[in-house]
Chain A
Amino acid sequence: MNRMRTMLFCPANQPKHYINAPVFHPDCIIFDLEDSIPPSEKDAARDLLCEALLALPFGSSQVCARMNSLRTPFGEADVRAIVPAGIRFLRLPMCESADDVSALDELLGEVEREHRIPLGSVKIQCSIETARGVLNARQTVSASPRVVSLSFGAEDYTRSMGVGRSTEGTELLYARMYLPVVAAAAGISAVDTVWADLGDTEGFIQEVQQAKSLGFSGKSCIHPSQLSLVHDIFMPSAEDIESAQNIISAMKQAEAEGIGVVTVNGKMVDEPVVSKARRILIQAGKGDDCNE
């Protein structure tokens, strides 16, 4: 599992973003083929993304594409073009049911076979953006082993609810509390919605802190200035990192010595404790420390 503290949105039709986005070291760059691209530019944006994937380095950042829904005339063309060009991570917008994911899973299988790409290479992030999507989220994320993550999209969600957006975000609470639970139960990560008001840094920080406390592992971002704030908030404390490292090394040592029960500082270490330690080290960018 890669850490997914930040997913930086970049409209796929703007060349400068391909060049500059890696400079800001987001955990993931998400090139958008969907909402930020007008229909008349869909083809050009897709072509540009394909060329960029083949030609440009993206540094340490994972690269994702937000494709168009398969219910639109553009979704299938997106998949058939950008997967052969190298995309291995797709955000599927407007996921409302397991069928949405199954349809993509099937198409991906076909494209992978056609281009001799190992089956299952392309992973999916389900974007939950409607009331129906929230209620069906458990089934949706379980519809394919390709699903490694879910994300929440507040704009379309509030539209589907018929409510407005408030600074406090009360109208989002149910979804923002429920979706991390779905993700945790499925063993995948959950990425929170974007914060659009770039002038309100304090509000942004509060929302990121809340996202962390609710169980999200990261946040979608629309501007590089948001990245370091999110990274700082999602960075585990030095104490937590040290404790996690102790737990993992004690567990490894016990396994090597064939000891069944492990204790660290007098406390028993069981599977949930080890899982939590692993998550902490991944968030701290020390995922290698927990590789077996």
Chain B
Amino acid sequence: MNNIKNRLGRDIPQELSGIGTLRPYEHPDKRTERCTALNDKLCCGKLVSNLREAILNSGLSDGMTISFHHHLRGGDYVLAMVMDEIAALGIRDLTLCASSLTTAHGCLIGHIKSGVVTGIETSGMRGALAKAISCDCILDKPVIFKTHGGRARSIESGERKIDVAFIAASCCDNMGNMNGCTGKSAFGSMGYAMVDARFADKVVAITDNLVAYPACPVSIPQTMVDFVVCVDAIGDPQLIGQGATRNSKNPVELVIAQYAAQVMIGSGLVKDGFSYQAGSGGISLAVARFLKDYMKENNIRGSFASGGITSAMTNLLEEGYFQALLDVQTFDAEAVSSLLKNRRHMEMDAQMYADPASKGTVASCLDVMILSATEVDIHFNVNVLTASNGVIMGALGGHPDTAAGAKLAIVVAPLLRKRIPIVVDEVVTISTPGDNIDAVVTERGIAVNPAHPELEERLIRMGLPVCSIQKLRDMACQLTGIPEKPRFGENIVGLVEYRDGTMLDVIHNVLPFSS
């Protein structure tokens, strides 16, 4: 046996049968600096003095990919401040990979025009930026729209490599342990950012609430973070989401919600242990109220509710209607508070939520999913990405993921919005394939996908206003007439990627209506 002395003078065999090659101890990794009570925060951590230093330290250079999350919603200050700093450093040709882009991100128009940003991948886009891309073709490459699950899949697989992730946190310590539940800019779950932190080459945490080590709770741990920056404010609390989500009093929405709850009940899926997800819109919240009445009357206790979590859902948890909440995105302050104090209200990342390449998603455990729609067509295809006029104004979010995963995917939408029919011959953009939609519920009728005749029969027996999707289309057209279709140009401004990475649809630039 050949031995070798390690740094401490001990004989270590170079190789052992059944174990293999052994490496002798060579270097101590004890840190060299010595801290004092006065300067420990500065010398012990990853804190850098400003964003510029963090960007420089991250090694960001031309042609790289950067990422952001959208948990701060319309109140986000971080993306704009980082992009301004990057632009000032003269870095160009970046691909921006965001979990979504909101009305807070109009600053990107300038950065696109100046060549700082040359590619965008996102779940959605709204406001001035979306209009500039749709109508003015300011970006040479099409925006790639990904579902929340599809984004996680592409990052995890390496298909989308993130060079530097900029992660806003409402609470962070000097080592990068962070959460979104505490601090003046609290926003709740960090579900979408967790994936970026896990797979990005460099991670920069940006907070307006630097706390003593260790931050508590830890949503993203220090093991994943390279640099920490403290700024004055990461967002506008008023726009991040305040108070409790309000219940709808819109009578049309209430009719739709009541029908949707009855469809759920008619499906037979609402029983002990069932699972449920709905959005934060007025109809979805009202569905939860009707659902609660039924669960109470029939003494039913659900398993979990998931997705974007509102105070409506946390109330159901506290009242015992569900055993747990799985939260990828928190919508209001009351729900943020619940995430902090209720152990059964759990944070989940986007991979666990919906990554189709993972070993099991929450989306695929869902019994019932309530989905919204900008448009639905007679093939049950849903558009949540572009308006009826063709302009980008929405987000795929987890829509296609949950529609695919849930046993019963119900689209709820008014038959008309203002004077625009919502059930149409052909949606402008397909964001969720009709194969995955089981029923469309409007205030004037319920259409069941012909693939489920047994569900249709049940609903008819319940006395619900069931009709074909073509009949819904006809009813809408009778009231509105046939609207003029948007005029599209030749440029492809957006690619709609399905969750598995295949292409569902393309979005063309919108031309102005001819006078």
The residues of A with any CB-CB pair to B shorter than 8 Å are 19-20, 23-24, 56-57, 223-225
Contacts and interface: CB of A to CB of B under 8 A. Distances in A.
A23 B252 CA distance: 8
A20 B252 contact: yes
Interface in B166-198: none
Contacts of B479: 19, 56
Nearest to A23: B443
B478 interface: yes
Interface string B468-503: 000000000011000000000000000000000000
A16 to B, nearest CB: 9
B387 interface: no
B255 interface: yes
B47 interface: no
Interface in B222-243: none
Nearest to B249: A225
Nearest to A59: B444
A56 B475 CA distance: 10
B255 A24 contact: yes
B506 to A, nearest CB: 34
19 contacts: A19-B416, A19-B479, A20-B251, A20-B252, A20-B443, A23-B252, A23-B255, A23-B443, A23-B444, A24-B251, A24-B255, A56-B479, A57-B478, A223-B251, A224-B254, A224-B255, A225-B249, A225-B251, A225-B254
Contacts of B478: 57
B421 to A, nearest CB: 12
Interface in B430-456: 443-444
A20 B419 CA distance: 12
A224 B251 contact: yes
Q: What is the interface of chain A mostly: helix, strand, loop, or mixed? A: helix
Nearest to B444: A23
Contacts of B416: 19
Interface in B410-427: 416
Interface string B273-313: 00000000000000000000000000000000000000000
A23 B416 CA distance: 12
Interface of B: 249, 251-252, 254-255, 416, 443-444, 478-479
Given A20-B251, A23-B444, A223-B251, 6 more contacts: A24-B251, A24-B255, A56-B479, A57-B478, A224-B251, A224-B255
Nearest to B256: A23
A20 B255 CA distance: 11
B256 to A, nearest CB: 9
Contacts of A224: 251, 254-255
A223 B479 CA distance: 22
Which of B249, B251, B254, B478 has the largest number of chain A CB atoms within 10 A? Answer: B251
Contacts of A20: 251-252, 443
Contacts of A56: 479
Contacts of B249: 225
Contacts of A57: 478
B78 to A, nearest CB: 40
Contacts of B252: 20, 23
B255 to A, nearest CB: 6
A225 B286 CA distance: 13
Nearest to A57: B478
A24 B444 CA distance: 9
Contacts of B255: 23-24, 224
Contacts of B443: 20, 23
Nearest to A15: B419
A124 B333 CA distance: 54
Nearest to A21: B251
A230 to B, nearest CB: 14
Contacts of A223: 251
Nearest to A20: B252
Contacts of B251: 20, 24, 223-225
Which of A23, A24, A57 has the largest number of chain B CB atoms within 10 A? Answer: A23
Nearest to A16: B418
A19 B415 CA distance: 11
Contacts of A23: 252, 255, 443-444
Q: Lowest 8 A-B CB distances belong to which pairs?
A: A224-B251, A23-B443, A23-B255, A20-B252, A19-B479, A23-B444, A225-B251, A23-B252
Nearest to A225: B251
A167 to B, nearest CB: 22
A19 B443 CA distance: 11
Contacts of A24: 251, 255
A29 to B, nearest CB: 13
A56 B249 CA distance: 25
Nearest to B442: A23
A57 B416 CA distance: 15
Nearest to B418: A16
A56 B444 CA distance: 14
B408 to A, nearest CB: 24
Contacts of A19: 416, 479
B10 to A, nearest CB: 82
Contacts of B254: 224-225
Nearest to A25: B255
A225 B258 CA distance: 12
B342 to A, nearest CB: 31
Nearest to B255: A23
Contacts of B444: 23
A223 B250 CA distance: 11
A131 to B, nearest CB: 35
A82 to B, nearest CB: 21
A225 B479 CA distance: 23
Nearest to A224: B251
A192 B444 CA distance: 28
A11 to B, nearest CB: 15
A253 B443 CA distance: 42
Nearest to B416: A19
B85 to A, nearest CB: 48
A58 to B, nearest CB: 12
A254 B255 CA distance: 44
B124 to A, nearest CB: 29
A57 B476 CA distance: 11
A225 B478 CA distance: 26
Contacts of A225: 249, 251, 254
